[in-house]
Every structure is written in C-alpha cells, then in structure tokens.
Chain A
Amino acid sequence: MRLPTKPELTTTLPSLLWLVLFVLVPLVTIFAIAFRPALPQGGIGEGWSLDAIKALGDPSYPALFLRTILISATTTLICIAASLPVAYAMARLSPQWRSRVLLLVIVPFWTNFVIRVFAWQQILHAQGYLAELLRSLHIVGENDRLLGNAGAVILVSVYTYLPFAILPLFAAAEKFDFGLLDAARDLGAKSLRAFFSVFIPGIRQGVITALLVVFIPMLGSYVVPDMVGGPRTQMIGNKIAQRNFTDRNLPEAAALSGALVLLVLAPMFLRRKEKLATAK
C-alpha cells in the first residue's frame, strides 16, 4: 500500500483527528459506559457491571421501541407522500420560479427549531382557535385534547422534517426527463398511473435519500414528543434524557443509547447493501 503524501496528511489530519476524538471515541464510549456500574449519587463507578444491560429488559421497553418505530415510520410516509407531488410541481416550474419556491421551502427550516415547535404548542392549545373551531364542528369532543397524543407528535414532526424530504426529491425530480411522462401518456397511461410507474421509479434514489433523512433523525426524536406529546407518546429519546437528567443513571442512559445506535445503523446497512446491488 502506498503511504499518503505530505500534502495529503496536512489537509486530512486536522479534521480526521478531530472527528476521531469527538465522534468515533464518544460512540465507542457509549458502549463502554453501558458496562459500567452506576453510582447512587449519579456518576460512573469503577469496574464492570451488567446492571445497565440487564435494565434493557425493562418490560416497558418493547412498547417504547415499537412506538418509536411506528411514530417515525408514519411521519416518514406522510413526509414522502406530501413531498412527491411538491417535488414534481417544483421541477415543472420555470427556472426563475423554481429557485424562488426553493428558497420559500428552505427559509422556515432556517428558523429556530425550538421556536417552531413552540408555535405549534400554542396553535394546538386547548383554549386556542383551532381547538374551538374543531369543537364547534364536532370533529373533536368537549374534553378531547389536541396536545399530548401521537397525532400531535406526528403532525409537528411532519412540519419539521418535510423540507428534509422535499429537498432530495426535488433534486432528483429536477434531473428527471419529463418527456418520459408524455411518452407514457401517449401510450395510453393515465396521469396517476404515469406518476406511479414512471415518475417515482425515475427518482428512486431521491426517494431512498428522503426516507433515510427523515426516518433516522426521527428515531432519535426528543424535543417534539417532549413539547407536544405526553406520557403515552414517549419515545426512546425521551427515555434516554430521563435516565440521564432525572434518574442520573449514566450507564442505563448509555445502554439505551447503544440500543438506539444499533437501531439507527440497521437502515444504513440496508442502504449499503442496496448500493452494492445496484452497482453490479
């Protein structure tokens, strides 16, 4: 093997060392701390212990993991379903309008995340206009709350992640040859049929990227369920924060984080396999 040259090393080493120190080592630390005992006053003890790993057998955890995956998957599917027609429409705009609309899509995602979630907390408030309107239309009952349920968590998650789904789909749609759709129609396909059997397969890579950029961060969701959800919508992220900040049990928080790392790696591994398959 050829040894790296000096200019390669001078440009590579600063970032490489930084990332090894603050990304790779911390990730390994998660797994190491999971095998440490917890101190009652909230530190990490000496020696090794399986307590934190055994705590993963908590009877409430299967439901917690299932709920996290279900909320993440539902949010992802809604984001993709809404982004597909949006990406299609954006790609068909004139170049001038395309960049204007693109900016309109990006700007809300540049505003503070906490504040965007806070805005929804006020909109969904029990005494708010929306709740009153829905009550007067008898869509929700007198005692139903708009906050504190899975619906609120999914709605606000869709709001925060929709731009992440639109961008890769739009990037793929921009390169799509729309002449293919005309051809499909000339051959007798209905609009909807052409959209599903020509457009979507044509932007396949964009769809996969969109799936991953929404689903993976959703698995680690913490702020949205904390602010607009309730005890029944707790996700893995909330449990990690609780173990860490409330119970002051770092090894258990680490064990749960390690489980989340593995959960996050699974879809990435599938993606790699998929890439290898298409490369052949």
Chain B
Amino acid sequence: MKPSRVPFVTLIVVLVFFYLPIGFLVMNSFNTSRYASKWGGFSTRWYDRLFERTDILAALGNSVKIATAASTLSMILGTAAAFALHRYKSRLQVAHRLLVTVPLVLPDILMGMSLLLLFVSVGMSLSLVTITVAHVTFCLSYVALVVQARLQDFDFNVVEAAHDLGATKMQAFIKVTLPLLAPGILAGGLLAFTLSIDDYVITYFVKGPGSDTLPTLVYSMIKKSKDLPVINALSSLMLIVTFAVVAVSQRLTRPVA
C-alpha cells in the first residue's frame, strides 16, 4: 500500500501560507498607490520617504543600542548559567533551572506588566535602561538554553587534558573551553539580539515617553494609520537584514565536519 500524500501536500500549503504575507508586504513596498489594497504601478518613492524620516532612524538607533547591550550581558549571564546547570546537580540548581525556565514560558504581557510594577514601586524612571534590563531578563534564558545544548556534546576530557599538561584552571578555560564553545555562545547571542530587536510587548510596558524602539514606533504608526506604505518599505529592508542574520547564524551553528 502506498503511503498517503496528504502530509506532503499539507507541508507545501503551510509553507505557502508562511511566505504569502511576507511576499505581499515586499510587493506592496513598491506599490505607488497609497492604499495597500490596489496596485497602482511600480515605484520606490516609499523608500525615499523612509530615508527622510529621522524618527525612524532614531528608533532604529535605540533598538540597536538596546539589542547590543542586552545580547552582550545576556551572553555572559546565560553562559555562566548554562555551565552551572550542566555541571552541578544540587538543589540550588533545581531552583536555578526553574527560574531560567520561567521567562521562556511566561506570556510577554505578564513579563512586561510585572517589570513595570517593579520599576514603578522602586521609583525607577522608565528609559532605555529599563528596556535593556527587561530584554536581558528574557534573552538570558534563551542563551542558557542554546549554550546548554552545546554543552551536551562538549567533551570535558579536553579540559582535563589541558590540566594534565600543566594549564591552570583559568588558562584551560580561556584557551580551551571558551574557543570550543564560542560558536554556541555566539549563536545564543545572535538569537538574543534578534529577540531584543523584535520585541514589542515587553518594551511597550517598560518604555518611557520618547524612548521608542523600532517595533514600538512602527506599532504607533500602524495605530495612527500614518505613512503605512513607508512601513512596508521598512519591513522589506528588515527582511533582508533578517535573512542575512539567518545565513550567518547557519554558518555558526553548522556542526564542524
């Protein structure tokens, strides 16, 4: 009896479903008509308009600053966390693991709301700093997850060998462990960077007035129905960046043959 073809057809339908809206967006960014619903001819005027908008550039700057700080800090904290969770099996690690898991499962709105309430109750004013703190908190868990997966295949005998050859603990860590784990840590950092750049909900709750990131600015433009075609142009450019980042991270995480 022949296996059914239904699963493969479903797979193709799902892939088309995934890419159709993205294709629609890119197509519309070249649509000269102001109204996304009708094709009015090819033009790049929305791209020109995009580069005139200084507020978009400023928001992009904020996003990049926050993502850089958040991914760097979460790379350090997350890698340390992954080491501890991998190495030790104490009751402390049970609590540690639970806390690392919470940001992965907690709905964004609860994370944003709870951090907002914390900042308000301790009287911390909302700014780029509060956004960064929030981003580090959820990025940390993702980095820990990625690095932990790497540690599963890590051969600790290599570190033992370095010790036997006379390396101190610090030397062995810097010269052996870190370089071998670097691809995993960087992949975690890259994931953290994209998650930070992408985040809307948590940022919206903990941002102060005037500290817009790209997603919060785009959201308010959509809500006010202002310059919608410019958002299409912006989205298309962001897609290109995303594809580039995916390509780079594929290189990093590819198993070394």
A contacts, CB < 8 Å to B: 1-2, 4, 8, 10-12, 14-16, 18-20, 22-27, 29-30, 32-33, 43-44, 82, 85-86, 88-90, 92, 101, 103-108, 110-116, 118-123, 125, 127-129, 159, 162-163, 166, 185, 191-192, 195, 212-213, 216-217, 219-223, 227, 237, 240-241, 244, 250, 253-254, 257, 260-261, 264, 268
Chain A nearest Cβ from B99, distance in angstroms: 4
Chain A nearest Cβ from B203, distance in angstroms: 10
Question: Interface code B36-62, partner A: CB below 8 Å = 1, 0 otherwise?
Answer: 111000000000000000000000000
Residue pair A85, B21 in contact (C-beta under 8 Å): no
Complex interface: chain B residues within 8 A of A128 (CB):
36-37
CB proximity to A under 8 Å, residues B2-25: 3-4, 6-8, 10-11, 14-15, 17-19, 21-22, 24-25
CB proximity to A under 8 Å, residues B121-164: 121, 133-134, 136-137, 140, 144
Interface centre among A23, A106, A195 (most CB of B within 10 A): A23
Question: Interface code B229-256, partner A: CB below 8 Å = 1, 0 otherwise?
Answer: 0010001001100110110001000000
B208 within 8 A of A: no
Complex partner residue of A85 from B10, B24, B136, B242, CB under 8 angstroms: B10
B106 within 8 A of A: yes
What total of A-B pairs shows CB separation below 8 Å? 245
Give the interface residue-count category, chain B. Answer: 35 or more
Complex interface: chain B residues within 8 A of A260 (CB):
107, 109-110
B contacts, CB < 8 Å to A: 1, 3-4, 6-8, 10-11, 14-15, 17-19, 21-22, 24-25, 28, 35-38, 76-78, 80-81, 83-84, 87-88, 90-93, 95-96, 99-100, 102-103, 105-111, 113-118, 120-121, 133-134, 136-137, 140, 144, 194, 197-198, 200-201, 205, 214-215, 218-219, 222, 228, 231, 235, 238-239, 242-243, 245-246, 250
Known A-B contacts A23-B103, A185-B1, A257-B113; the reply to A122 vs B80 at CB < 8 A is no
Complex partner residue of A120 from B21, B92, B103, CB under 8 angstroms: B21
Residue pair B22, A111 in contact (C-beta under 8 Å): yes
Complex interface: chain B residues within 8 A of A223 (CB):
200-201, 219
> What 8 A-B pairs have minimum CB-CB distances, sorted nearest first?
A220-B107, A26-B114, A15-B81, A89-B7, A119-B21, A85-B7, A11-B84, A19-B99
Residue pair B3, A191 in contact (C-beta under 8 Å): yes
Complex partner residue of A123 from B24, B111, B200, B242, CB under 8 angstroms: B24
Residue pair B35, A127 in contact (C-beta under 8 Å): yes
